Structure 1
Amino acid sequence: MGALLVLPLMYTFVWSFQRVEYGAPGQWIGFSNYSQVLRDPMFHTAVGFTVGFAIAHTAVVLVLGYGLALLLHRARRGRSVFLGILLVPYIIPAVISATAFSWLFDDSFGGLANQLVEKLTGEHVEWFTSTWPNRSLVLVEATWAAAPFVMLVLLGALKGVPDAQIEAAIVDGANWWQRQRHVVIPLLGPMFRFIALIAVMGGLGVFDALVPLSPNAQTVGTQSVSMYVYENAFARDQQNLGLGSAVNVLMLIVMCALISPFVRQVYREVKGT
């Protein structure tokens, strides 16, 4: 933990106050990196997209993963087969799965999903060059890749729900939705919070999926903060690790603000047990 987390974090914090180029020692420049980043409109766009994506991704993946877990929990036959099929997107590397997913909407590779959308709506959608279609594409792919993990965790949690409480709710006249709302979901609350914590952190760090799905991320407004760091610290001619470090420090503050409610609640639950 010290070598892989604490030490790099310390270097990141120090470099954020320096101009650091490859092969040269850092030069102390104070808050210039922070000032440059905060004045850059592209950074504000990247933060807005990343935070919005993380929130939307977390909500969608929780609902979809829970729905799939309920279906498999009630399945009497073929559960192992369906579980194996649904877990395929989770075990494939992110870049490969995102690339294969992009082919479904790219006419150069057949675009089967794109053809279906055109037949249903009668319109040709520019998935890779229009802002909201591209954002929707990234969200759908990220949900497709993350939902199997959520489904698997909640499926295991559903097996621990006491049958006696479900039967008592049925005797009291509760319908299916009332049983889910007042019995099952509260019992799975700690697991939902844990998954939400993981999903928010994954959404804030989205990068791999954007490479094949958003080739024009800067122009269409789908550039994430991780991609912004990559463009400034690694990809441009004037590579500046100090500027990228400043962005990482700022995003660390944003991440702590978003996940702190989940962390506090999980800590209370663990401490209570």
Structure 2
Amino acid sequence: MTLTEDRPGRGPRGGRPRPPAGTRSPSAPRALLRWPRAATPWIFLAPVLALFGVFKFWPTLWGMYLSFFQVRPYLGNKWVGWANFRTAFHDAALRSAVEHTVIDALVTVAASAVIGFGLALLLEGPARHLRILRTAAFLPVVTAMVAVAELWNTILYPGGYGTLNTLLGHLGLGPEPFLSSPHSSLASVMLIQVWKSAPYDMVIFVAGLAGIDKQLYEAAAIDGAGAWHRLRHVTLPSLRPVTTIVITLGIIRGLRVFTEIYVLTGGGPAGSTETIVTYTYKQGIQNNQLGLASAVSTVLFLVTVLLTCLTLWWRRRKEA
């Protein structure tokens, strides 16, 4: 049995020299050098995060706080607890607005996703003319919603002054009250929403189609699979993550619909197009019930977060 002697300045068995006592480890300078590199992205993100904090996060938290008060400007807020929430849940106008919002969200999410997927199948590819067509199809998305709503208001204007009713008059068909009838106003608004949001879904689906391995299609074709079977067994399963994104964004978009309804119908006629956000706007701005409006906004925020989490959970369960 032999004994090894630890020489001064060296580790056992003649290994790497030990640093003298009281000196800093060589890894410490590397850690100090890595810290600025890791902090660089956050430095560039700081202005954006500050803006989000001021104009997004803080108003959300402040609205949750006000939902428990009767807001009285210049007189001081009065604590009312859950009274605003009880008032909201017992309001028939809000129940009608919730019904319209759910119908609007379900129809527009499904229609936009289906139409966007169809456009993606038609326009996906590297050809120049396809890029031009995709750009043209995407124009409604980048156009301000107020401008889009005013354009469609001119097209669907009731009587003989609207563009569409003028064309119907030349065909011998009577003018239709697209936006002034309780039976057709919500459907007309949903049509405009689909027209604007379907190209957005198209772009997401195009990105998903571009990421599918072409060898999967070649292998399916060799096995004798036709176009329908390739679409069903290759394309759709590969687009599950993309479809989840489209559905999640569509749900958020559908629950927050406001501008097009406010510009086109104002929630009318007879409340037939009233949604949660237009109801909240009227209660908070027109009726000066800021506490009630904050309570409704808080519930809408929590429902949106819950539906988003459920959608993501469903996706993970399907992929497991």
State the TM-score, normalized to the length of structure 1: 0.88
2:130 to 54, 63, 79: 79
Per the alignment, residue 242 of structure 1 pairs with: 291
**Are 2:187 and 1:140 aligned?**
no
**Are 2:209 and 1:158 aligned?**
yes
1:264 to 296, 299, 313: 313
Per the alignment, residue 63 of structure 2 pairs with: 12
- Paired amino acid for 2:145: A
State which structure, 1 or 2, has the greater radius of gyration over its C-alpha atoms: 2
**Are 2:80 and 1:32 aligned?**
no
1:114 to 162, 165, 172: 165
Which structure 2 residues correspond to residues 44-193 of structure 1 after superposition, within 5 A?
A: 44-73=95-124, 76=127, 78-107=129-158, 110-116=161-167, 122-193=173-244
**Would you tell me which structure has more helix in proportion to its own residues?**
1
1:102 Cα deviation from its structure 2 partner: 1.8
Greater CA drift, 79-88 or 123-132:
123-132
Q: Which runs of 5+ in 2 are unaligned?
A: 1-51
1:180 Cα deviation from its structure 2 partner: 1.2
**Secondary structure of the equivalent of 2:108?**
helix
Cα 1:196–1:223 shift into 2, 3 Å:
same
1:119 Cα deviation from its structure 2 partner: 6.7
- Paired amino acid for 2:211: G
Give the aligned CA root-mean-square deviation in angstroms: 2.5
Q: Which runs of 5+ in 1 are unaligned?
A: none
Aligned length in residues: 269
**Are 2:289 and 1:232 aligned?**
no
Distance 2:158 2:55 in 1: 42
1:41 Cα deviation from its structure 2 partner: 0.7
- 8 Å Cα contact 2:160/2:166 also seen in 1: no
- Paired amino acid for 2:206: L
1:235 Cα deviation from its structure 2 partner: 1.7
- 8 Å Cα contact 2:158/2:176 also seen in 1: no
**Are 2:73 and 1:22 aligned?**
yes
Distance 1:113 1:81 in 2: 28
- Paired amino acid for 1:240: Q
- 8 Å Cα contact 2:101/2:254 also seen in 1: yes
- 8 Å Cα contact 1:137/1:213 also seen in 2: no
